[in-house]
C-alpha cells in the first residue's frame, strides 16, 4: 500500500499555520521530510502524525486512522449484552472496536472517531436511538447503522429505518445475522 504524503502547503492548511512554519520545522530537523525529483518537500502521513504527537499538538482526524482498519461502534446500555457482543466481535480481525453505553457517548465517538459502522440499541437511557441514528447519518451518511431492539413493532421498524438505519435486528438475534450485515457493509468476515 502506498504511503500518503503531504506538501508543506497541505500541512499548513491542515494545521492552520503558514507554509513557512512547516518549512522551518523541516529545516530544523524537527519534522522528517524528503524532496521530490522536482525539489518539493513531502512529509509522510506517519512522520507528520509522530511529529504532532511528540510535540503535544492536536492530530487532525485525517491522520487518526492511519492503520486503515474499519471502526465499529457498539451502542448498548445493557452491560451483559454489550459484553456478549464484544466477545462475539473477537471472531473478526483487522478492525477497531469502540463502545458506548448511552446516546451522549455515542455522539462524542461518532464526532471524534468517525466509525464506519454503528450497532445501535434503539432504547437508550438518555437520547433515544432514533435521534442518535439521525445524528449519525447527519454527520456522515456513509456510516452504516444496524439498529437493534427488544421491543419489536411495525411502527418502531418504520421509524428507525426512516431515521436512516441500514438494517434492523430484533433481540434476541443470532450473531450470524449480525455478522452477515457486517460482511455486507464492511467486507469483514468472522474467523470461524
Does 1.10.1660.10 match the CATH number of domain 5-62? yes
pLDDT digits (tens, 9 = 90+) for 56-95: 888 887 776 555 678 899 999 999 999 999 998 888 877 8
pLDDT of residue 1: 42
**43-47, 73-77, 90-94, 136-140: least confidently modelled range:** 90-94
Domains of the chain, residue spans = 5-62, 70-186
Judge contact between 123 and 159, C-beta under 8 A. no
Q: Using a cut of 0.85, tell me whether the model's pTM lies above it.
A: no
The mean per-residue pLDDT over the stretch 20-36 comes to 94
Residue 31 buriedness (CB in 10 A; 0-12 / 13-18 / 19+): buried
CATH code for residues 70-186 = 3.40.50.2300
Amino acid at each position: 500500500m502506498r504511503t500518503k504524503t503531504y506538501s508543506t502547503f497541505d500541512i499548513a492548511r491542515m494545521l492552520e499555520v503558514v507554509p513557512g512554519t512547516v518549512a522551518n520545522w523541516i529545516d530544523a530537523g524537527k519534522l522528517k521530510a524528503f524532496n521530490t525529483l522536482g525539489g518539493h518537500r513531502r512529509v509522510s502521513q506517519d512522520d507528520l502524525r509522530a511529529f504532532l504527537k511528540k510535540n503535544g499538538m492536536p492530530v487532525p482526524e485525517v491522520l487518526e486512522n492511519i492503520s486503515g482498519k474499519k471502526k465499529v461502534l457498539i451502542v448498548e446500555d445493557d452491560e451483559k449484552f454489550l459484553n456478549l457482543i464484544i466477545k462475539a466481535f473477537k471472531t473478526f480481525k483487522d478492525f477497531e472496536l469502540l463502545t458506548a453505553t448511552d446516546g451522549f457517548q455515542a455522539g462524542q465517538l461518532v464526532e471524534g472517531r468517525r466509525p464506519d459502522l454503528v450497532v445501535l440499541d434503539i432504547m437508550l437511557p438518555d437520547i433515544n436511538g432514533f435521534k442518535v441514528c439521525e445524528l449519525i447519518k447527519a454527520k456522515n451518511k456513509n456510516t452504516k447503522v444496524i439498529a437493534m431492539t427488544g421491543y419489536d413493532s411495525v411502527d418502531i421498524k418504520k421509524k428507525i429505518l426512516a431515521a436512516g438505519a441500514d438494517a434492523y435486528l430484533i433481540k434476541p438475534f443470532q450473531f450470524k445475522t449480525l455478522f452477515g450485515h457486517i460482511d455486507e457493509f464492511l467486507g469483514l468476515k468472522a474467523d470461524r
